[in-house]
Amino acid sequence: MLVTVENGRATRVAGDPEHPFTQGFLCAKVNRYVERTYHEGRLTSPLRRVGPKGSGRFAPISWDSALTEIAEVLGGIAASSDGPQSILPYSYAGTMGLLQGSSMDRRFFHQLGASRLDRTICSMAGTVGMRMTVGANVGADAEGIPESDLVLLWGTNTLTANPHLWPFVLRARERGARIVCIDPIRTRTAAQCDDWIPIRPGTDGALALGMMHVLFARGLEDRDYLERYTLGHEALRERTAEWTPAKTATVTGLSEATIVELSEQYGGAKAAFIRVNYGLQRHAGGGMAVRNIACLPAITGHWRRAGGGVQLSTSANFTFNRAVLERPDLGPAARTINMIRLGEALTEPDAGVGGPPVRALVVYNSNPAAVAPDRNAVLRGFASPSCSSTSRPTPPTGPTSCFRRRRSSSTGTCTSHTGITTRRSTGRRSRHSVRRCRTRRSSAVSPRAWGCASRTSGTTT
């Protein structure tokens, strides 16, 4: 991303035409960053609440005062009989930079001895499904899609939620690939695909099992690949025997003909690409649904070729020494609280996991009152006088900077690139750019990196 700065003020953001994946255009959200940066509603100084909780009454204070008060509040709680584990950090992906989003903060709370947060709210079910099936949450290279002869957009509204992927999909279509959308809703993406398969919500795992049944029954599996590079394929074959097209149709709401046709198209392809998005793993059995889907390219050997495979995320395609970044060794062992159970943590005397109550919640890079499950319980917890309070009315609220003002590095979630913020001068105007640095890309994924699950056990219907 290129940011044009005039007289110390950003005036324009644009995609970087030199970037091989974003190719000079921005998504709708990022395209408004100049407006968001200078919006009148942005915080520009720390605020202290001066009225009752929920009244919305705040007054500005200096940074020195804010930092002093926060330190006194947290220090007092840590030194109390409840101890530092009654302090809970709460953050997620407000900024995804490794330095600004998941290193210095972790070191601080580890040193303090605070409770630890299990950051699960977005994609953990699918992540575990990928780990159990292919060993890590790694994905096929999106830049290989033009080599695909079949693209399945499974539970993803690509044009809206992943627009930089779409040009690669179009290149595959230009070269003869068929584009299929599997989604309960006829989204704008579905309308642009060659086929739309309107699956019943929450039954994606069943469809994958039904497809496996057809692949095995029609002899469309890659036996050499299964024997050489996977574990448990015979048990998987037995498990899918019951998922006939008739049973799969009853569960998914699709016709038997549709299930068979999709399976035969997939089995007949040489390098089919499956793009899975996060919605389908936010159902009961969502992790297993991703696991089932992730078995498909191993059964057919599509991992052998560029353009073949499955992608939920590429976040694990790059490895960083997170222990060095986060330094869990700085403090004692502490309890872990799942962020999706925040309501319970704020309202139960033992935070729902044992130990002291949560007396201070430090929120950054997230908005739990809007996004956390069981919102009513979360709001009751925030309203409690025992949470985030000492002798003062409340600890202060502080502003944060926009990402373009910070130096950091990040990993892509669907691209084979890492990101770094740099700066370059262009005469009177200066440009800040978020550059994507590709660290490694091979023409095809090594098959030794992938394998079927040793056991695939059903689906929640």
CATH for 336: 3.40.50.740
* pLDDT value at residue 46: 93
Please state, in angstroms and rounded to a whole number, the distance separating the CA atoms of residues 289 and 200.
13
* pLDDT value at residue 441: 35
What contacts 353, CB < 8 A, 6 or more positions away? 335, 336, 337, 345
The total number of residues shown for the chain amounts to 461
Quick check: is 391 in a domain? no
* pLDDT value at residue 393: 39
pTM beyond 0.75: the answer is yes
Residue 365 tokens read as 């890079």
Quick check: is 455 in a domain? no
Number of domains in the chain: 3
Are 324 and 408 contained in the same domain?
no
Quick check: is 394 in a domain? no
Nearest to 277 by CA among 187, 405, 387, 150: 187
Q: Which residues pair with 114 in a beta bridge?
A: none
Are 178 and 60 contained in the same domain?
no
Domain that holds residue 102: 47-122+319-383
What is the number of H-type helices and E-type strands within the chain?
A: 18, 16
Are 98 and 189 contained in the same domain?
no
Position 452, amino acid: C
Task: For residue 282, give the CATH number of its domain.
Answer: 3.40.228.10
One-letter-per-residue 3-state SS of 174-223: HCCCEEEEECCCCCHHHHHCCEEECCCCCCHHHHHHHHHHHHHHCCCCCH
Are 220 and 77 contained in the same domain?
no
Angle between helix 256-268 and helix 204-217 axes, rounded to 10 deg: 60
Quick check: is 331 in a domain? yes
Are 214 and 305 contained in the same domain?
yes
* pLDDT value at residue 101: 83
Position 234, amino acid: E
DSSP H or E stretch at residue 242: none
Are 307 and 353 contained in the same domain?
no
Is the torsion defined by CA of 166, 162, 151, 311 positive or negative?
positive
Quick check: is 459 in a domain? no
Are 95 and 219 contained in the same domain?
no
Are 272 and 365 contained in the same domain?
no
Alpha-carbon torsion, ordered 66, 67, 69, 74, to 10 deg = 140
Quick check: is 169 in a domain? yes
- 56 conformational bin, left if phi > 0, alpha if psi -120 to 50, beta if neither: left
Per-residue pLDDT of the chain (461 residues; tens, 9 = 90+): 888 899 888 999 888 888 888 888 888 888 888 888 889 888 888 999 998 888 889 999 999 999 999 999 999 999 999 999 999 999 998 888 888 888 899 999 999 999 999 999 999 999 999 999 999 888 999 999 999 999 999 999 999 999 999 999 999 999 999 999 999 999 999 999 999 999 999 999 999 999 999 999 999 999 999 999 999 999 999 999 999 999 999 999 999 999 999 999 999 999 999 999 999 999 899 999 999 999 999 999 999 999 999 999 888 887 788 899 999 999 999 999 999 999 999 999 999 999 999 999 999 999 999 999 999 999 999 988 877 643 333 566 666 666 555 555 555 555 555 554 444 444 444 444 444 433 333 333 333 333 343 333 333 22
Are 72 and 212 contained in the same domain?
no
Are 16 and 55 contained in the same domain?
no
Position 312, amino acid: L
Are 280 and 145 contained in the same domain?
yes
Quick check: is 438 in a domain? no
Quick check: is 270 in a domain? yes
One-letter-per-residue 3-state SS of 359-375: CEEEECCCCHHHHCCCH
Q: Hey, is 144 helix, strand or coil?
A: helix
Angle value at C-alpha 239, between 235 and 243, nearest 5 degrees: 150
Are 20 and 64 contained in the same domain?
no
